[in-house]
Amino acid sequence: MKAFLNGLGTLCLFFCISYNVKAQTTLINTQFTESALPAFVSSDGTINTTKAADGICSKGMIQVNKGQFIELDVASCSSLIMNMKSTSENSARTVNVKYKIGTVTDYNNVAMPLTVQLAASFNLTDIYPELISSENISIRLEPANGNIQVHDLVLLSKGLSSGNAITSFKMNGQVGDELVDANNHTVSINVLAGTPLANVAPHSIGISPFASVSPQATAPQNFALGNPVVYKVTGENGDFLNWTVIVSEVSSAQKEITDFKLKKSQLGKSIIDASSGAITVNVPDTAKLDDIVPYYIYTSDLTSVSPAITATQDFNNPVVYTVTAADNSTKTWTITVNKIDINGFPGLDLSQVVGFASVSADGFTGPTTGGAAQITGRTNDTVYINGPDEFAKFCTILKERIKYKTYSNNPLTIVLEPGTYTGAGGTESVWANQMLTIQEQENLTIIGRRNVVLNFGINVKRSSNIVIRNLNIRDYYDDGINIGEPETHHVWVDHCTVGHPLNMPADPEHPDGGIDVKNGASYVTISWTKYQNSYKTGLVGHSDSNGATDNGRLKVTYYANHFFHTNSRNPRVRFGEVHVLNNLEEQVQLYGIAAANGSSVYAENNFFLNTRWPMYADRTTTDFKALYGYGSDATFSSKTGNYPALGLKQVGNAYDDGGLPAITAQINAAMLNPGGRSVKFDELNPEAVFNPSSYYTYTAMDANVVRKIVPLLAGADVIDFFPKASTATTLPLTLLAFDAIVQDRLNPKVRLTWTTTNEYNTQDFEVLRKSDEGNFEKIAIVPAKNTAGEFTYSAIDDKPFLGSNYYQLKQNDKNGKYSLSKTVAVSFKPKTNLKLYPNPATSVVKVTHPAALTSGTITLVSADGKVVAVHKIATNSNETSISLDGLTPGFYTLLFNQGAEHVASKFIVQ
């Protein structure tokens, strides 16, 4: 509890601050809502505890007039933020800032005084770095003219941690958990008999935050029986303790398969029944199963497997493995593989278009089917383009379909065979400006069989009932796909990959848009497509002056797309009606969804992973600044020209910003998510936004399902659209395997596993963990093999949090560089179930909980980590009412503490 509150105490109410310092402690955190001055603060000014909030300034303040002062006397200072304003909006105040450090008796003046006028946040340690001190420091502010009002004050101390403990210790062959005796500074470990001990390094040593250990955890030691090993753990402040590690031998007959994966294309995790030794695996129905080597098999420590896990097997039939333990006892395991039709997933029929491309409009009877259209009196034609050398044939077909109407009577599917198409040999009228033009076409599908790469864009105009599918579009100069002109309608882009394959392009202006919908085109669906490494990702409406053409058009659905490491326009919308449904936006840099210039955007059940600014509706400059604030970081100004949207409505969206740094810009605290790492979901005139269900029927996936399934199914070459003609493995993963597996729910344990290939210059791996609150912290270090080949690693988290646990893998190179993996998550449900109502609350919040048999407490913590109230739980009661009088509106965390149960729940005070 104490550690949790201390961790929360380093957060700031209005934004988070990040300096290159070590441990920090919040010494001052006040909004002057108490009649007395807080510790470390002195002043001859006047406190007003009920002064109304003003923009960035919170309720409550102290007024300091000319000739008066406010002074801070603290042991050290690493960060100082004050939210202030002049008593007159029309008159700027000059404030002299003075300081003295250590034993110095005279104040030093900073070079330039501070100017205070409108309500603003001042990061004084950023403006005046000389205020950062590890020694005693006094900081004094004196208005030189007029009066100022200080509403908020946060000061962080540059303290040093004294932690010097060993918290965990893992060794090869370890049986059970280590016993850490904090009183005697010993660690006792059991290993399986026969485990080498003479010259080995531990798997990992967990130590206190900011501490160091000697000898290093990676150094081999002699852990032989009767030979205790001593480690010196030194805290950040120099205090140290010597810890003794004692190893004993035990026998074990563990022979379990703890995890199994057949191949990268496997659908979901294997179902393992340890009691019967049965393992069930699901794969796509197109997967090849003969002559397969399992992707990995994890077993209990010190076991052998027969046949060898590197041997090929025919998994068309059940395969039996025998696991032999160290005591020579055995257990047989039977692997059964089921082939599953990917289109048969409940709620996911990938053959049917979802969204605006499915409706009947513009004289067309939906849904969009392209070359599969069923038209009375016509047959369905298919043409094959046998690689890039036949690109001229591709162009000729499109040209003749316009000029000679050769294929106009029949729906047509053009199949592109594998290869990289550069546009060489393109013919006039359909190949121009480095783009393939699809014009005056209808009932047409263009589909890649597999591994089809286009090094140019596609321009769709004056066409209808068009399907573009399973194409990799990269290294194009202008747009990846441009869909434009009022005569263009019912276009479905599906399972494509657009953008650079590895990194952001060197020129932020070229390529231009990934997939754009412009100039009056309408009834478009973009689905299951992966946008990657793109600056300008998806634009709807190309010009702020094109309203005469675009109003009433630009009806677009974005469904189940994966926006990965993109910068902006995910999408950006002018004038149109756009439904952004079930998309995953991951590592988006500038902004995700932007509703601008008369547009109506319905954002539903999307998941935003490590995306700083998920969505916003554009407003006038004045309204935008009033909502978000406007500081020195220009990133937080409107990026869409301050042309107001008609409306933005958001429903069922979710986020995880745990991998982001804290936002240090001066942005309105009310618009930040808890933790200060990302901006809240915006809304503007939601009642004016169109209702997608009035146009078409659809079933939305839950946002947390989106997070899991979209990375598996979005992009080109993920689904095999030609199962009879292709044996390609489907669903390739784009990241190295990294998984978190619950090993024991009754006595919570999590096994982290990861697989690498061709390691070079690799030092080690750090396993990082965080809960819903706080930052990632290191829980284990595993040395790397650092050689060619494929290797599987694992680590155990034997003390996961109740609730959510998020894990990330940090790979450290020997040259000091590092990279971070994707984030994986598991959850342990606490025994105690809390219910809070009403939520949001105004004057009272009621908490229902199990009957209190012993004394307990309920603690309220504000968004900045400040404890604002503590309530005792009455014995034998199962409901507690808590008064919210005096609390400012915002997010709060309620902590229920009784016995071994410590449960947190969030609520809102209005």
Q: How does pLDDT run across 137-167, given as a tens digit for each residue? A: 999 999 999 999 999 998 887 666 677 889 8
Residue 855: pLDDT band (50, 70, 90) is: low
State the pairing for strand pair 777-783/762-770. Answer: antiparallel
CA distance 477 to 455: 9
Q: Would you say 678 and 663 are in contact if contact means Cβ atoms under 8 Å apart?
A: yes
Q: What is the pLDDT of residues 594-644, one digit of tens each?
A: 999 999 999 999 999 999 999 999 999 888 988 888 554 545 568 888 899
- State both tokens at 634: 């220009």
For residues 97 and 110, is the Cβ–Cβ distance under 8 A? yes
CA–CA gap between residue 385 and residue 705 (Å, rounded): 37
The reply to whether 166-250 and 835-909 are identical in fold is yes
CA–CA dist 612, 123 (Å, integer) = 21
pLDDT at 54: 84
In sequence order, what are the residues at sequence separation of 6 or more whose Cβ sits closer than 8 angstroms to the Cβ of residue 771? Answer: 801, 803, 804, 805, 806
Segment holding 4, helix H or strand E: helix 2-8
Spatial distance between the Cα atoms of 677 and 680, rounded to a whole number of angstroms: 10
CATH 2.60.40.2340 fits 257-340, yes or no: yes
Residue 176's pLDDT band, with cuts at 50, 70 and 90, is low
pLDDT band at 278 (very low <50, low <70, confident <90, very high): very high
Q: Residue 621: what are its φ and ψ, rounded to 5°?
A: -55, -45
Mean pLDDT confidence for 419-424: 88
Alpha-carbon distance of 808 to 822, in angstroms, equals 6
pLDDT of residue 6: 29
Residues linked to residue 261 through DSSP beta bridges, in sequence order: 296
Residue 529's pLDDT is 96
| pLDDT (0 to 100) of residue 744 | 64
Measured between alpha carbons, how far is 857 from 872 in angstroms, rounded to an integer? Answer: 4
- Burial of 625-657, coded b for 16+ CB within 10 Å and e otherwise, reads bebbbbbeeeebebbbebbbbbbbbbbbbbbbb
CA atoms within 13 A on the CB side of 27: 22
pLDDT given at position 894: 79
Given this model, what pLDDT does residue 726 score? 27
Q: What is the DSSP letter of 639?
A: S
Identify the architecture of domain 835-909 in CATH: Sandwich (2.60)
Rounded CA separation 564/588 (Å): 7
Does residue 322 carry a pLDDT above 70?
A: yes
The confidence band for 232, taking pLDDT boundaries of 50, 70 and 90, is very high
Considering the domain 2-157 in this protein, what is its CATH number?
Answer: 2.60.120.260
First to last CA, the chain: 27
The string of DSSP codes covering 529-576 is -EEES-SB--EE-S-TT-HHHHTT--EEEEES-EEES--B-SSEEESS
Q: What is the pLDDT of residue 728?
A: 25
Measured between alpha carbons, how far is 280 from 270 in angstroms, rounded to an integer?
Answer: 6
Q: 750 or 355, which is more confident?
A: 355
Cα–Cα dist 764/776, whole Å: 17
Q: Please, which residues have CB within 8 angstroms of residue 817's CB and are 6 or more apart in sequence?
A: none
Separation of CA 355 from chain center: 26
- Give 733's pLDDT tier (boundaries 50, 70, 90): very low
The total number of residues shown for the chain amounts to 910
Residue 527, phi then psi, degrees to nearest 5? -135, 150
Contact 434, 457 (CB under 8 A): yes
Return the SS3 of 234.
strand
CB count in 10 Å sphere of residue 623: 15
Q: What is the pLDDT of residue 462?
A: 94
Take residue 170 and report the two structure tokens written for it: 């893992």
Superfamily the domain 344-713 falls into = Single-stranded right-handed beta-helix, Pectin lyase-like (2.160.20.10)
Mean pLDDT of the chain: 83
Chain Cα centroid distance, residue 696: 30
Higher per-residue pLDDT: 766 or 593: 593
For residue 436, the one-letter residue type is L
Q: What is the pLDDT of residues 495-526, one digit of tens each?
A: 999 998 888 888 888 777 899 999 999 999 99
Q: Rg of the chain's alpha carbons, rounded to an integer?
A: 31
Compute the average pLDDT of residues 397-413.
75
Q: What is the pLDDT of residues 864-886, one digit of tens each?
A: 667 788 788 877 777 888 888 88
Q: Between residues 290 and 326, which one has the greater pLDDT? A: 290
Percent of the chain topping pLDDT 90 = 39
Three-class SS state of 24: coil
d(CA 112, CA 612): 34
The answer to whether 908 and 673 are in contact (CB under 8 A) is no
Name the helix (H) or strand (E) containing 811: strand 803-813
Question: What are the backbone dihedrals phi and psi of residue 130, each rounded to the nearest 5 degrees, phi first?
Answer: -70, -10
Residue 403: pLDDT band with limits 50, 70, 90? low
What is Dmax (Cα atoms) for the chain? Answer: 99
Torsion angle (degrees, nearest 10) of CA 635, 538, 450, 367: 150
Structure tokens, 601? 């955007």
Classify the C-alpha dihedral 354-356-360-366 as positive or negative.
negative
Phi, psi of 355 (to 5 degrees): 105, -155
Q: How many CB atoms lie within 10 A of CB 709?
A: 18
224, pLDDT greater than 50:
yes
Q: Where are the domains of the chain?
A: 2-157, 166-250, 257-340, 344-713, 738-828, 835-909
Q: Which of 114, 124, 129, 116 is nearest to 84 (CA)?
A: 116
Look up the CATH architecture of domain 738-828: Sandwich (2.60)
Pick the CATH number of 166-250 from 3.40.50.1370, 2.60.40.2340, 1.10.3720.10, 3.30.70.20: 2.60.40.2340
Q: How far apart are CA 116 and CA 88, in angstroms?
A: 10
The pLDDT, as a whole number, for residue 18 is 25
Enclosing H/E stretch for 127? helix 124-127
Pairing of strands 120-123, 61-64: unpaired
Average of per-residue pLDDT across 189-217: 85
Q: What is the structure's pLDDT at 150?
A: 95
Report the distance separating Cα 120 and Cα 530, nearest Å.
41
Helices and strands (H, E) in the chain, number of each type:
6, 69
**Order of strands, sheet of 515-518, starting from the edge strand that comes earlier in the sequence:** 431-432, 435-439, 457-461, 481-484, 515-518, 539-540, 572-574, 593-596, 615-617
Give the distance from CA 180 to its chain's centroid: 35
- Range with the lowest mean pLDDT among 39-48, 80-89, 385-394, 865-874? 865-874
- CA distances (Å), origin 91, targets 55, 834, 847: 17, 51, 48
2-16, 113-127, 452-466: least confidently modelled range: 2-16
Buried b (16+ CB within 10 A) or exposed e, 507-541: eeeebbbbbbbbbbbbbbbbbbbbbbbbbbbbbbb
Closest to 605 (Cα-Cα) out of 594, 614, 617: 614
Please name every residue paired with 844 in a beta bridge, in sequence order, or none if there are none: 883
CA 684 from chain center: how many Å? 24
Q: How many CA atoms lie within 13 Å of 46's alpha carbon, on the beta-carbon side?
A: 9
pLDDT value for 325: 77
Work out whether the CA dihedral 46, 50, 52, 57 comes out positive or negative.
positive
26-30, 576-580, 853-857, 873-877, range with the lowest pLDDT: 853-857
* Alpha-carbon gap, residue 450 to 94, rounded angstroms: 68
Which amino acid belongs to residue 716?
Answer: A
- pLDDT score at 599: 96
According to the model, what pLDDT value does residue 830 have?
A: 56
Cα–Cα distances in Å, from 625 out to 671, 722, 889? 12, 52, 20
Mean pLDDT within 411-428: 85
Distance separating alpha carbons of residues 666 and 55, to the nearest angstrom: 12
- DSSP-based three-state secondary structure for 408: coil
How many CB atoms lie under 10 A from the CB of residue 766? 21
Name the more confident of 708 and 353: 353
**In the predicted structure, residue 2 carries a pLDDT above the cut 60:** no
- From the number of C-beta atoms within 10 Å of its C-beta (0-12, 13-18, 19+), residue 825 rates as middle
Q: Which residue has the tokens 């030189």?
A: 144
Q: Is 131 helix (H, G, I), strand (E, B) or coil?
A: helix
Structure confidence at residue 341 (pLDDT): 64
Backbone angles phi, psi at 343, to 5 degrees: -75, -5
* 158: amino acid identity, one letter: K
Q: What is the Cα–Cα distance from 901 to 830, expressed in whole angstroms?
A: 8
Q: Residue range 660-675: average pLDDT?
A: 85
Residue of 250, 278, 272, 230 lying closest to 190 (CA atoms): 250
pTM equals: 0.49
Q: How many CB atoms lie within 10 A of CB 665?
A: 16
As a whole number of angstroms, the distance between CA 690 and CA 698 comes to 15
Q: What is the mean pLDDT of residues 117-122?
A: 90
